[in-house]
Structure 1
Amino acid sequence: MDLLERLADKINELPNLPERLIIGQLSNNNDFGFYSQPGSQVISEDWSGIQERSLPFEIAYRTDDFEKANNSLWKISELLDGLNKLQTDGTYEFNRINIQPQPFLTMIDVTEKGVFLLDFSVEITQQINLGE
């Protein structure tokens, strides 16, 4: 499933992002990351194996420019909140994005850098192979 890649591509199309959003956790080499969270849920499933699922994701940005981080994550939040269509690889169908809460500062480290987070879930419909 290419959901992470498609969402990252869509986000990276935004003008004036502080840097390119990378798929992966924050690290020494990456201050702007996008990754899946644990806790996906099956919302519904029919007898043919078609599932509606909710998949949790998080965007994290570490910086000492708190205003830039807050503004950047709000732009991303607004983009995702208005997203009602996403090109996929055909293994799933994009339904909607639920953003709660809005971007927030989670911590300030010893170097005076803050880590800002944006949490959201994506609902998809996917055919599950029952015979395997």
Structure 2
Amino acid sequence: MSKQPYLIEFPQLGDPAIGYISVAEPQQPLPFQIARAFWTYTTPETIVRGRHAHHRTEQVLVAAAGRILVSTEMPTGAIQVYALESPHVGLYIPPYVWHTMQYSAGAVQLTFASTPYEEADYIRDYAEFRRVWGVTNK
């Protein structure tokens, strides 16, 4: 069985009077070494991004600003929805988990990935995602 998505809380250092800093260091609290980081921004609220899974890549998504609704689907068909709205909380997404994201106005998503970009790692077709796990629509 594949790993499950789960929330990760990053250290939140500081206080309301001066602001906060959160830190991700190797293996703390990330469950992998970071090979790539990227951010998504200025996405219209009506657009749904993601719509894919990965063969190998693990990711942690963080709402650096705004609110991001992340929907995950396991190969079993189990669906979970996460509301990321605090920059010290991230969502771990393991391989073989279909995921989509929808953003509030002004949202910025920071993503830490375990592998460099490689197109062959992506499962972009939903039917293919289901076929990889031997699931057929009945």
Please say whether Structure 1 and Structure 2 have the same fold, judged by a TM-score greater than 0.5. Answer: no
Which interval holds the TM-score relative to the shorter structure?
under 0.3
TM-score by length of 2: 0.26
Larger Rg: 1
Bigger RCO of structures 1 and 2 (CA < 8 A, at least 6 apart): 2
